Amino acid sequence: MAAKRFWLIAILVGAVFFGLSLLVPNQYYFQAGYVVLQYIVLATAWNILGGYTGYVNFGVAAFFALGAYSSVALYKLAPLPLPVLILIAGIVSGVVGLGMGYLTLRLRGAFFSIATLAMAVVMQTLITNWDYVGGSRGAYILRPAQVPILGNYIVYLFLIMLILAVITIGIARSIERSRLGFGFAAIRDDEQAAEAAGVPTLRLKLVATTLSGALMGMAGAPLPYYVTYLDPASGFSLSYAVNSIAMPLIGGMTNWIGPLIGALFLGTIQQLATVTISSALNLLIVGLLLVGFVVIAPNGIVGLFERVVERARGRR
Amino acid sequence: MKRVLCAWFGAVLLLAGMAPLTAGAVEPIKIGFGMALTGGLAGNGKAALVAIQIWRDEINAKGGLLGRPVQLIYYDDQTNPALVPGIYTKLLDVDKVDLVISGYGTNLQAPAMPIIMQHGMTFIGLFGLDVNHQFHYDRFFQIQPNGEDPSISSIEGFFQAAMTAKPTPKTVAMVGADAEYPKVALEGARKIVKQLGLKIVYDRSYPPTTVDYTPIIRSIQATNPDIVYVASYPPDSAGMVHAAHEVGLKATVFGGGMIGLQFASLKQQLGEMLNGIICYDMYVPSTTMNFPGINEFLAKYQPVAKEEGADQLGFYLPPFAYAAMQILTQAVETTKGLDQGKIAEYIHATEFDTVVGHVKFAANGEWAKPRVIFVQYRGIKGNDLEQFKKPGTAVIVAPAEYKTGDVEAPYSAIAH
């Protein structure tokens, strides 16, 4: 399918989805939907580096929180519209992603992952000691109760996150079918061979870390407006990293639809578990699903589906 | 045809029979909240839940609230602020609760505020620190006896007591975690220390992830302070006490705002190491805190808590959670309805008699009069919890209204 047609369909699906969502009579749907959409963005962004390029990033929370704290800093400086805050958060996180790419360009495999984890710790320490954004005390964000046309502010946040999810999926899908995507895949399969074959591995890795970081930061930017109180412990919560990695693993890491399926599946289960089982069991669910998928479907739901289709074709 | 008619007739009879039953069924009053039942704050969250459930059982045994049974609808917020907006929206929009109270702690109250305000609900918070200072919501009430300025009132008693120690202290060392409460407490402590003219010889903070506190205590010891003021969360409080014991800290007064020393689990774990420490508290068994109903409440709470795995003593959060429900009961029954505006107006205008004493709220929803107590642990032997249930192991040294004894000093001379 041509990229233009995909973008058009993605926008159309997003618009129809939002239109149908407006028919739901309670705000809880938008609250829960916002979280699921946020994970679609995070999982897809993580997959650009982790799935396409094969570099496992454990520092998701750092980029996510960086986006959130960019919003807090700008909120205190001058009140700007949320889309502008998201854009700035994307730039800030993208620059940090680029920096991380440069600093870790010689690291591969587990060493790269440990470096990203260390970066999250460094970032959290910096934010904890930066009083302007609330430091360890945390920061309050007062959001308006209503917005024009849409009414409730949570509907506005939901729409913003939906647009972000459509854009992120569009970018991921465009990368997958482009020279850039083939370059990423070459790095994932064998970096040295790719380098020998003339693939500009360093440049591509930097593109991946920048893009992935920027999108994660953009997902974090509306967070202070969602929770209205942000402290380092919740902004840098490990659950963001765990979920962002688990979702592509469960959905499938080699294409754009895997993280989308994983985030929809796992995100929805977690939201349901919160108000039904009502306990931290949802992290247990993530763990059990991860173990289950690693054993039964190492290539995720997409891989499982492909295997079933191939078998069906073979029988014919 | 005959069979169809019979079926219709039977159905009509059945519906007619059910009609009086439906009309007579009383819709319960639903009270909703999120509570930390797992995660970092679960220890206190579970204890608060037990207290609220005791209140529910009592009120239902008396015929309910406004003649309707009370139903609690609660979800585990997992000590995760990001879950709170969803939980309160679910409670208000889907479960259609009639009344709401908060979960435990500042960062689990603040995310609920915009939703609560949007629905115009009266909101009673459990142990949050100055949550309403940004929102200025006139239907918010805080159940924590901090007074209008929590940064001062939860600290000044410690220094009042410390200054009565002999020899009179001249220097102070202050230390706290890089986290919300310790930061506020240390800011307040600096103001008070300045007023008292004490010399600060050590003023540092440490990352919340710290596990070894011995180097911190050693560097404090090197400055030879008279007072050592610590503002900490439960894991660091335990670490600090262990380190002070290990290093053999020499100071006239040691303690301060150490969260956790009030909990049964830490009391049991630290045992004799607590002797000599002066720390804030909210309630301890004593002749000056014999509020009406407190003993009856604790007698009901303690056996249930043991079964449920909650705090076995229940001196810290549970009586306050129960008091919150007493306040809500009185407000609903007196205003004879669930009109949130009227309930809030009534709570603002009334002084309540609760199991934690008289409660009157200031305009910002905090307690009008601070009532934090400071206790000095004494005569603790071994790790038996029973000894904490009797007056004597925690002597109230401030404020004067609740005082049961003078400060014993120096800390280093007390066997611990």
Question: Cα-flanking dihedrals φ and ψ of residue A89, to 5°?
Answer: -60, -40
Distance CA(A206)–CA(A211), nearest Å, equals 8
Residues of chain A that touch chain B, judged by Cβ-Cβ distance less than 8 Å: 26-28, 30-32, 35, 125, 128-129, 135-138, 140, 142-143, 145, 152-154, 223, 226-231, 233-234, 237, 239, 271, 274-275, 278-280, 282
Give the three-class secondary structure for B201.
strand
Are B185 and B270 within one domain? yes
Contact residues, chain A, for B38 at CB < 8 Å: 279-280
Burial class for A301, CB neighbours closer than 10 Å (0-12, 13-18, 19+): middle
Distance (Å) from the C-alpha of residue A133 to the closest C-alpha of chain B? 13
* pLDDT score of A17: 93
Q: Is residue B172 domain-resident?
A: yes
Nearest to A48 by CA among A189, A216, A193: A216
Contact residues, chain B, for A39 at CB < 8 Å: none
Distance CA(B374)–CA(B376), nearest Å, equals 7
Are B130 and B226 within one domain? no
Who's near A13: CB < 8 A, 6+ residues apart? A166
Q: Is residue B60 domain-resident?
A: yes
Give the three-class secondary structure for A193.
helix
Q: Is residue B249 domain-resident?
A: yes
Are B171 and B44 within one domain? no
Of the CA atoms within 13 Å of residue A262, those in its CB half-sphere come to: 37
* pLDDT score of B80: 85
Distance CA(A301)–CA(A311), nearest Å, equals 15
Task: Evaluate whether B240 touches B277 at the Cβ level (below 8 Å).
Answer: no
pLDDT in tens, B130-153: 889 888 999 999 999 988 887 787
Are B161 and B137 within one domain? no
Cα-Cα end-to-end distance for chain B: 91
Task: Evaluate whether A29 touches A154 at the Cβ level (below 8 Å).
Answer: no
* pLDDT score of A298: 84
**Interchain CB distance below 8 Å, B107 and A278:** no
Distance (Å) from the C-alpha of residue A154 to the closest C-alpha of chain B? 10
Give the three-class secondary structure for B373.
strand
Count CB pairs under 8 A between chains A and B. Answer: 110
Name the residue with higher pLDDT: A4 or B212.
B212
- Give the total number of structural domains in chain B: 2
Name the residue with higher pLDDT: B20 or B182.
B182
Q: Which of B118, B179, B208 lies closest to A145 in CB terms? A: B118
Average pLDDT over residues B320-330: 97
Amino acid at residue number B92? L
Contact residues, chain A, for B73 at CB < 8 Å: none
Residues of chain B that touch chain A, judged by Cβ-Cβ distance less than 8 Å: 37-39, 74-76, 78, 80-87, 89-90, 93-94, 106-107, 110-111, 113-114, 117-118, 134-135, 177-180, 182-184, 205, 207-208
**Interchain CB distance below 8 Å, A145 and B114:** yes
Q: Which of A28, A143, A231 lies closest to B93 in CB terms? A: A28
Distance (Å) from the C-alpha of residue B20 to the closest C-alpha of chain A? 32
Contact residues, chain B, for A28 at CB < 8 Å: 86, 89-90, 93-94
Nearest to B338 by CA among B81, B124, B66: B66
**Interchain CB distance below 8 Å, B75 and A275:** yes
Are B234 and B375 within one domain? yes
Per-range mean pLDDT, top range of A137-146, A241-250, B4-13: A241-250
Are B176 and B267 within one domain? yes
Residue B298 has which token pair? 């604790």
- Domain assignment of residue B281, given as a range: 151-286+371-413
For chain B, how big is the Rg over CA atoms in Å?
Answer: 24
Task: Evaluate whether A251 touches A263 at the Cβ level (below 8 Å).
Answer: yes
Who's near B94: CB < 8 A, 6+ residues apart? A26, A28
Distance CA(A246)–CA(B252), nearest Å, equals 53
Q: Is residue B257 domain-resident?
A: yes
Distance CA(B411)–CA(B404), nearest Å, equals 18
Distance CA(A137)–CA(B184), nearest Å, equals 8
Question: Using 50, 70 and 90 to split pLDDT, how confident is the model at B10?
Answer: very low
Instruction: Please state, rounded to an integer, the average pLDDT across all residues of chain B.
Output: 90
H-state helical runs in B197-278:
214-222, 234-247, 264-270
Residue B110 has which token pair? 């603040």
Q: Which of A31, A125, A136 lies closest to B89 in CB terms? A: A31
DSSP 8-state code for residue B61: H
Please report the sign of the dihedral spanned by the C-alpha atoms of residue A256, residue A261, residue A264, residue A265: negative
For chain A, how big is the Rg over CA atoms in Å?
Answer: 19
Residue showing tokens 């993208």: A94
Residue showing tokens 């580096």: A49
Measured from the Cβ of residue A294, the count of other Cβ atoms closer than 10 Å reads 12
Distance (Å) from the C-alpha of residue B180 to the closest C-alpha of chain A? 4
pLDDT in tens, A219-246: 999 999 999 889 898 899 888 999 999 9
pLDDT in tens, A34-46: 999 999 999 999 9
Average pLDDT over residues B24-37: 89
Q: Is residue B379 domain-resident?
A: yes
Burial class for B297, CB neighbours closer than 10 Å (0-12, 13-18, 19+): buried
Average pLDDT over residues B215-230: 96
Are B281 and B303 within one domain? no
Nearest to A298 by CA among A251, A245, A244: A251
Question: Using 50, 70 and 90 to split pLDDT, how confident is the model at A78?
Answer: confident
Measure Cα distances from B250 to A98, B112, B225, B397 in Å: 51, 45, 8, 21
* pLDDT score of B361: 96
Residue B39 has which token pair? 């995660």
Question: Using 50, 70 and 90 to split pLDDT, how confident is the model at B21?
Answer: very low
Q: Is the pLDDT of residue A55 over 70?
A: yes
Are B89 and B191 within one domain? no
**Interchain CB distance below 8 Å, A231 and B180:** yes
Q: Is residue B338 domain-resident?
A: yes
Q: Is residue B394 domain-resident?
A: yes
Question: Is the ipTM above a cut-off of 0.85?
Answer: no
pLDDT in tens, B71-112: 999 999 988 888 899 899 999 989 999 999 999 988 899 889
**Interchain CB distance below 8 Å, A35 and B82:** yes
Residue B363 has which token pair? 């305009």
Q: What is the dihedral of CA B6, B9, B14, B15, to 10 degrees?
A: 150
Nearest to B354 by CA among B103, B151, B132, B51: B51
Q: Is the pLDDT of residue B18 over 70?
A: no
Q: Which of B81, B89, B117 lies closest to A28 in CB terms? A: B89
Q: Is the pLDDT of residue B22 over 80?
A: no
Domains, chain A, in order of start with CATH, read 3-315 (1.10.3470)
CATH, residue B160: 3.40.50.2300
Instruction: Please state, rounded to an integer, the average pLDDT across all residues of chain A.
Output: 90
pLDDT in tens, A280-294: 666 777 788 888 888
Residue showing tokens 């015929």: B63
Q: Whole-model pTM?
A: 0.85
Are B235 and B381 within one domain? yes
Distance CA(B394)–CA(B283), nearest Å, equals 10
* pLDDT score of A311: 86
Q: Is residue B326 domain-resident?
A: yes
Distance CA(A117)–CA(B210), nearest Å, equals 18
Q: Which of A27, A153, A237 lies closest to B80 in CB terms? A: A237
Contact residues, chain A, for B207 at CB < 8 Å: 125, 128
* pLDDT score of A15: 94
* pLDDT score of A279: 66
Are B220 and B274 within one domain? yes
Are B228 and B312 within one domain? no
Are B83 and B131 within one domain? yes
